[in-house]
Amino acid sequence: MYEYYDSVDSAAAQGLENKRVNLGLTPLPEPVISGLKLNADVSIGDLTLNTTDSAGVVWVLSDIEGWWTLPDSEIPELRRGWGDGDYDAIGRYSARLLTLSGSFLTQDPSQVAVARDRLIRATNLVKTGNWLVVRESPIEKASFVRLSGSPQIETTSARGRTNFSIGFKAADPIKYEWLDGAADNYRSSGLSASGSAINNEGNTYVSTVIQVFGPITASVASPATVTLASGGSVKIVESLTSGQILEIDSLNREVLLVEGDSVLSGRYKTATLIDWIYLAPGVNTVTYTGGGSCRMLYRSGWIG
């Protein structure tokens, strides 16, 4: 009896497996316009792609090369003095290189010049950068980019279809969650002695900005301290007066003392050996002991 049921269960499992494999190999019908659907799901600055604008120009993005994969990596080659192979070494990710490819489709040739100018204005990112936002589901993601290389923009039909291929460089290869309306695209969480649970929903470590608001009384013997439960702490060893803000930025590895419009180095107000705090994927517990108030600015991040 047991062998019979085992045989039935095995056949059912094999049938389900075959069904899933066949479904996975079945092609989905492509949209009439090759590429992504018109869901207004990609933007660079104030230019939204995969949509029809107010003038009736259709903006279609066919690919974002470099967005869906890991960026290039660099691992130093440390040859062994004897034997085969290298020493195992920690590597790093390079800047993320992206290429936006697509087309804009005009209803009339007279629209080409205006549409081309709009594209150029949005991608003129040499002196300044901007956010490339991809509205993935369930979390929108973004990278801060600048122009890389020479854009290719070519009109290919009498009606005005224009194809483009434009390269960008994201110096920070991490893709961050996009928070509409948030200052500098950061979440904010107050810290206290009882601890705050801060959730990095991404798949890689992310940097933080810690802001301590004066007045506080601190010294080497009695510092104000921000502590990450999984390891690492930042100690403030000099007092802050009312109106002073100490900012500890682990991305740029700098400490700034802000007072009104004045921004100076505040490194001397922290312990000589400082642990720059990064949030691991998942929930992180962070505490603050000291006077005044303290908050952490952060955002979830993905490396691929």
> Given this model, what pLDDT does residue 8 score?
58
Asked if residues 133 and 122 have their Cβ atoms less than 8 Å apart, the reply is no
Query: For residue 36, what pLDDT is reported?
Result: 45
First to last CA, the chain: 50
Sign of CA dihedral 292, 198, 173, 176: negative
Full pLDDT tens readout for the chain, 304 residues: 545 555 656 777 777 777 766 766 667 554 444 444 567 799 999 999 999 999 999 999 999 999 999 999 999 999 988 889 999 999 999 999 999 999 999 989 999 999 999 999 999 999 999 999 999 888 999 999 999 999 999 999 998 999 999 999 999 999 999 988 777 789 999 999 999 999 999 999 999 999 999 999 999 999 999 999 998 899 999 999 999 999 999 999 999 999 999 999 999 999 988 889 999 999 999 999 999 999 999 999 999 9
Dihedral sign computed on CA atoms, order 248, 252, 256, 259:
negative
Rounded (10°) CA dihedral 145, 148, 150, 153:
-30
Q: What integer pLDDT is reported at residue 137 of this predicted model?
A: 84
Handedness of CA 47, 153, 95, 88 (dihedral sign): positive
Distance CA 131, CA 133 (A): 6
